[in-house]
Amino acid sequence: MRYWLMKSEPSVFTIEDLENSPLQTVKWIPTKGIRNYQARNFMRDDMSLGDLAFFYQSNCDKPGIVGIMKISRLAYPDPLQFIEGHKYFDPKSSIEKPRWLSVNVTLIKKIPLIELKQLRAFPKLKSMLILREGNRLSITPVLDDEWKFITDAIN
């Protein structure tokens, strides 16, 4: 099993939106669709069914972790790339060779907000990708010891 941190902007998609979705499951394209090759490659090459992920709210007054989800469907073509005229249409993508992918996630539980500034305060988390200067990836791996440290703090 691997662990992940997946970002969404609350102005676009919230933990409550996930909670209120049918079966508390959605395609993970809530912010803009994934349009970063490294994030796409994580979904395509590294995610497995049942992997766990932190739901991280970003680009807001209080960025941080607000929930835990699981990967409930493996990577498949993001449908937005095929819709001509759509903001995320990609003319270089085809059904046969899609460039952009999504996974489905299912809510495990909402948690009280763990703010970014709180995460930064723990020396054990200093190497966590979300805390690195300039990191803008919407999906990042979380190391086993980082996951355990944060989930132990929640419980």
In the chain, where are the structural domains located?
3-141
Q: What is the pLDDT of residue 32?
A: 58
> What pLDDT score does 29 carry?
72
Q: What is the distance of C-alpha 102 from the center of its chain?
A: 10
Q: What is the pLDDT of residues 3-39, one digit of tens each?
A: 999 999 998 899 999 999 999 999 887 555 678 899 9
pLDDT of residue 31: 52
Contact 89, 81 (CB under 8 A): yes
The string of pLDDT tens digits covering residues 56-101 is 999 999 999 999 999 999 999 998 899 999 888 999 999 999 999 9
Is residue 101 within 8 Å of residue 40, measured between CB atoms? yes
For the stretch 36-49, pLDDT in tens is: 899 999 999 999 99
pLDDT of residue 67: 97
Domain at 3-141, CATH from 3.10.590.10, 3.50.50.60, 3.40.50.1370, 1.20.930.40: 3.10.590.10
Distance CA 111, CA 93 (A): 37
Burial of 96 (0-12, 13-18, 19+ CB in 10 A): exposed
Q: Report the alpha-carbon distance of residue 1 to residue 108 in Å, rounded.
A: 15
